[in-house]
Amino acid sequence: MSCPDCGKRVPILFNALENRRCLECLRKARIRTIREQQKARNLNRMKSFEDGELFVYVNGDKAEIGKVKRKNNKGDGYFCYYHEGETAANTPLECMYKLVNSYTIKATTLGGVMEEE
């Protein structure tokens, strides 16, 4: 067996370890994961949305326009409208992107209410 990251031979004993990496690469990968989680948390702390704000929801290669109803109870996302109905879906903050020119959208039917400017 060899480590997929550095190609170093890995003892058969280590085969059960995460992705069969050598101990050094395993440690590096864990540090990377922790750094990525910290970065995501910091990003989430900086990102916030107002009630009624329009945003873009991104899921893989698809995007939808959404409208914020209110912050969720855990504080890690928002209840949002994506349809004309009154049902708001709990949406994680990391899938929500700022729609910087949302001021150009004067009205939507999201959430079933058509507000006038």
Whole-number minimum distance, CB 42 to Zn ion, in Å?
Answer: 29
Q: Which two tokens stand for residue 14?
A: 């280590």
Please identify, using beta-carbon distances, which residue of 17 and 56 lies nearer to Zn ion: 17
Please, which of residues 1-40 interact with Zn ion by CB under 5 A? 3, 5-6, 8, 22, 25
Count residues near Zn ion (CB under 5 A): 6
Please identify, using beta-carbon distances, which residue of 15 and 101 lies nearer to Zn ion: 15
Please identify, using beta-carbon distances, which residue of 2 and 37 lies nearer to Zn ion: 2
Whole-number minimum distance, CB 23 to Zn ion, in Å?
Answer: 8
Please identify, using beta-carbon distances, which residue of 3 and 68 lies nearer to Zn ion: 3
Whole-number minimum distance, CB 4 to Zn ion, in Å?
Answer: 8
Q: Are the C-beta atoms of 47 and 37 separated by less than 8 Å?
A: no
DSSP string, 14-74: GGGSGGG--HHHHHHHHHHHHHHHHHHHHHHHH----TT-EEEEEETTEEEEEEEEEE-SS
Which of the 8 DSSP states describes residue 2? B
Whole-number minimum distance, CB 10 to Zn ion, in Å?
Answer: 7
